[in-house]
Amino acid sequence: MGIGARPGRWWMSPVRWSSLVCVGVSLAAGPAAEAAQKFALGMFHFNVQYVCGGTTGFLVNPDPTLDLDNDALEDRIIEESLAPVVELYEKHPSWGVDIEMQGYMLDVIAARHPALLDKLRALTNSGQLDVVSFHYSDQLFLGYPTEDWERSQELTRASFDRHGVALSRTVFCQEGQAAPGMAARMKERGYRTLVWPKNLWSFQHGDFDAEPLYQLGDVFMIAGAKGVSKTVNGESLEVAWTFFGDGELLATGDLDPYLVEFFFVKPELVAKYEAGLEALEAQGYRIASVDQYVTEVSRKVTATEAPKLLDGTWQPASTGGIKRWLGGSGLWLTQERDNHVRSLGAVAHRELVAAETAAKVSGIDAREKLDGAWRLLLLGQVTDGSGINPFRGEIQYAVSHVAEALRLAREVIDEAKGKLGHAAVVVDPAQGTVTHASGGAADADELSAAGMSIEPPIKLVIDAGGRAVTETWARLGEGHTRVSITFAAEGASTISVTFPGTLEPAFEVGLALDDSGVATVERAAYAFERFHFALPTGWIGLGGGRFLIKDMARCHLAAEIEREAAGVLVEDKTAASSESQRWVFHILEGSAAEAAALAKSVNVARRLVR
Amino acid sequence: MASTMALCMVAACDAAAELPGAISWSGTLTLELRDSAEVVLTVAPDGDAVRVAVTPTASYGLLEVRKPLVADGRVASFPEVGASLYTAKFALPAVSDGPCGAEAISLAMSLHRDGENRMVLGGLTAYCGANRFHGTPVRILRLAGELTPG
């Protein structure tokens, strides 16, 4: 094949680990002990947005057999990779397993693969198969305010209810996204167990021997892909993982859907995996779902408190953590535009939140329109819009969906204005108000006001990649300043700014699914040298009582910190050389709680003049 | 703002002539990566209204090849981020062998532009049913490329 010789994620294919795990189990299993309890777990992560938008345009030259549109590619994934796995387990009613997918995938299955839906319905309702789902779209939910995930979760639950498929109590997510803030949200919605990827754990705390069961807040947690070998109350407990990764790769021979030419089921490989499970079963292993395992083990052991963990994805060593989706570059360097994709998602979030307020205050019936817009936003927040190796088709999928969501949101606001009889309005979602806009300076709040121009209060280190750059500071209030950095067009694709800080033993940061919370990161508690934070509401501490808040609608890039050094680096390695960018940050002198509150007013519930 | 929808039977570029003082942006955008669409955006002097002309080279069971779609749309500005969204709505007839079958097609254009950059990205979102520009789209046709002034 042409330019796309080895696209996608092949080089970090999770199935390779599962193979290793499986081999390890075979070697370590030994003779079955009478008193032993043995579990063989499998987590098949499926993603119908694996190549969102389809493969059309992936290769340089058109080829009707390889140019599959969105729906055709989705169908290929379902038919060639999901269906064989479901059918494998259907043959063995005593075997449990976890199949993870976004809620949207269930909708696609229901719409175009009803026979497979029937099987999923039967196998989940019998308790054999767990269909795991935490988000409607395979979106970068760690990078956006909680409301976006909440909308996503509602859609997912509605999808499962509509199609009669039981939703598992277990949680695993796209790209292995995991966050401590998920625990409270899981508990609220009846989930029981989070599967935390072992690599995201070891990246933060080094290698470890997994305990059978952990407690993370109010929910259970287990270490995904990490086997367990313990003696519990005099009884041996063995846990092996037979699969943990992209489910698409099992039946197709470790080939992903980018490789359309080869992405077909290979029955002999499914049979080989089946034989491996049968061998384990013969050794006394129970082929179980995570939920079945947790039910059993929670009766025997007291869950161990989980260590302090931070938000991230399942291969942090090779992706630079979440940075790969927020400024990091992949194979198709010149096609990527991470900041455009992710900041547009933030723009649309704000607009939809404002549209919700406008609709409510004006009393217009915009529910159907808004629901459709939220759905499009969530699809547009798909991880593959900016990582791991997105090609232009995936990037355009993300932007086109978000742009349409944005159109709908603005249309709702305009309808509300018409109903209220105002030519222009100030929408304040935090206050739940829509007021007449005078068109003057009084409309602007502290965030948008011009402010008083000041000399830089701190010295930034800006790498403009050879571009012309301007740095403008304004004082907006007591202890509150704003800096705007404009990178002109024509220059390198890597641009960055480093904010100086004060090295302290700990710093505070806002983490995912906890918009008002303050997480304290004790530097000495972690093993990593550097770490990347998504900043889903935009803020992180710089030390010395100073906080950085990115305006996510201008700059939605990862914040890089070093464990042993002060300061925060914000970098985009995917800036289009022919385009300018303008980044905006707020600096606050105050408390972490005040920073979290300001960040919410900037990025979560922004006051807008429309 | 409701759009005035019309199918234009004349050259799309003539649209600019109908708006004195307007600024025109035009270019060839990729349509679903393999195909293309000639796009002309004629922005009224007030900056809020735009006449949109889109001439596609492929149909996707939704569009008529090489026939300009013209509509009066709007420019949604986002002053706090310096961005613009060009939008328009097109009412299209049913295409029996297309994804909407016997239903009429409602086609919405959304094109995002960041700052003064010439790059625009977005799409043509097709909904099945007459005058139904929301819900679950039957197809989103991606548009991307540069528009130049004049």
Measured in residues, chain B has a length of 150
A488 touches chain B (CB under 8 A): no
State residue A442's pLDDT score. Answer: 77
| Of A314, A310, A226, A394, the residue nearest A12 (C-alpha) | A314
- Judge whether residue B35 has pLDDT over 50: yes
Do residues A534 and A558 touch, judged by C-beta distance below 8 A? yes
All residues of chain B having their beta carbon less than 8 Å from the beta carbon of residue A373 are: 134
d(CA A560, CA A501): 12
State residue A27's pLDDT score. Answer: 33
A582 touches chain B (CB under 8 A): yes
From the list A392, A407, A579, the residue facing B33 with the nearest CB is: A392
A375 touches chain B (CB under 8 A): yes
pLDDT tier at B19, thresholds 50, 70, 90: low
All residues of chain B having their beta carbon less than 8 Å from the beta carbon of residue A608 are: 80
Contacts of A234 (CB under 8 A, 6+ apart): A35
Report CA-CA distances (Å) from A316 to A416, B87, B120: 45, 39, 33
Q: Cβ separation of B142 and A554 shorter than 8 Å? A: no
All residues of chain B having their beta carbon less than 8 Å from the beta carbon of residue A343 are: 81
Sign of CA dihedral A489, A576, A403, B137: positive
Q: Cβ separation of B80 and A606 shorter than 8 Å? A: yes
State residue B4's pLDDT score. Answer: 34
Q: Cβ separation of A396 and B33 shorter than 8 Å? A: yes
Measured in residues, chain A has a length of 610
d(CA A204, CA A528): 6
Contacts of B116 (CB under 8 A, 6+ apart): A580
Q: Would you call A231 exposed, middle or buried from its count of C-beta atoms within 10 A (0-12, 13-18, 19+)?
A: exposed
Model confidence pLDDT, tens digit, residues B41-79: 999 999 999 999 999 999 999 999 999 999 999 999 999
Give the pLDDT means over successive 10-residue stretches in chain A (610 positions).
32 37 38 70 98 97 97 98 98 98 98 98 97 98 98 98 98 98 98 98 98 98 98 94 98 97 98 98 98 97 98 96 97 93 98 98 98 98 97 98 99 98 97 93 80 96 98 97 98 98 98 98 98 98 98 98 98 97 98 98 97
Q: Cβ separation of A410 and B85 shorter than 8 Å? A: yes
d(CA A590, CA A584): 19
pTM above 0.90, yes or no: yes
State residue A35's pLDDT score. Answer: 62
Report CA-CA distances (Å) from A190 to A70, A155, A166, A302, B13: 33, 16, 13, 20, 58
Q: Cβ separation of B142 and A393 shorter than 8 Å? A: yes
Chain A 291-310, residues with CB within 8 Å of chain B CB atoms = none
Q: Which of A353, A404, A578, A601 to mutate to test the interface with B (most CBs of B within 10 A)?
A: A404
Q: Which of B3, B32, B143 to mutate to test the interface with A (most CBs of A within 10 A)?
A: B32
| Of B24, B13, B68, B34, the residue nearest B144 (C-alpha) | B34
| Per-residue burial over B81-109, b = 16 or more CB atoms within 10 Å of its CB, e = otherwise | bbbbbbbbbbbbeebeebbbeebbbbbbb
State residue A448's pLDDT score. Answer: 81
All residues of chain A having their beta carbon less than 8 Å from the beta carbon of residue B125 are: 400, 404
| Of A136, A198, A171, the residue nearest A290 (C-alpha) | A171
Model confidence pLDDT, tens digit, residues A192-247: 999 999 999 999 999 999 999 999 999 999 999 999 999 998 999 999 999 999 99
Q: Both tokens of residue A310?
A: 């931070």
- Judge whether residue B3 has pLDDT over 60: no
Sign of CA dihedral A505, A508, A509, A512: positive
- A395 φ, ψ to 5°? -65, -45
- What ipTM was estimated for this complex? 0.94
d(CA A254, CA A88): 17
Half-sphere exposure of B121 (CA within 13 A, CB side): 23
All residues of chain B having their beta carbon less than 8 Å from the beta carbon of residue A449 are: none
Q: Cβ separation of B117 and A489 shorter than 8 Å? A: yes
Bond preceding residue A395 cis, omega within 30 of 0: no
Chain A 52-111, residues with CB within 8 Å of chain B CB atoms = 53, 56-57, 62, 67, 69
pLDDT tier at B18, thresholds 50, 70, 90: low
Chain A 329-368, residues with CB within 8 Å of chain B CB atoms = 340, 343-344, 347, 351, 368
pLDDT tier at B5, thresholds 50, 70, 90: very low
Q: Both tokens of residue B17?
A: 């002539």
Report CA-CA distances (Å) from A108 to A47, B27, B142: 11, 35, 20
Q: Tell me the nearest-neighbour CA distance from A553 into chain B, angstroms.
A: 7
Model confidence pLDDT, tens digit, residues A334-384: 899 999 999 999 999 999 999 999 999 999 999 999 999 999 999 999 999
Do residues A220 and A303 touch, judged by C-beta distance below 8 A? yes
A448 touches chain B (CB under 8 A): yes
CA A96 to chain centroid = 26
- Judge whether residue B32 has pLDDT over 80: yes
Model confidence pLDDT, tens digit, residues A381-413: 999 999 999 999 999 999 999 999 999 999 999
All residues of chain B having their beta carbon less than 8 Å from the beta carbon of residue A403 are: 85, 110-112, 121-123
A468 touches chain B (CB under 8 A): no
From the list A62, A343, A447, the residue facing B34 with the nearest CB is: A62
Q: Cβ separation of B122 and A448 shorter than 8 Å? A: no
All residues of chain B having their beta carbon less than 8 Å from the beta carbon of residue A62 are: 34
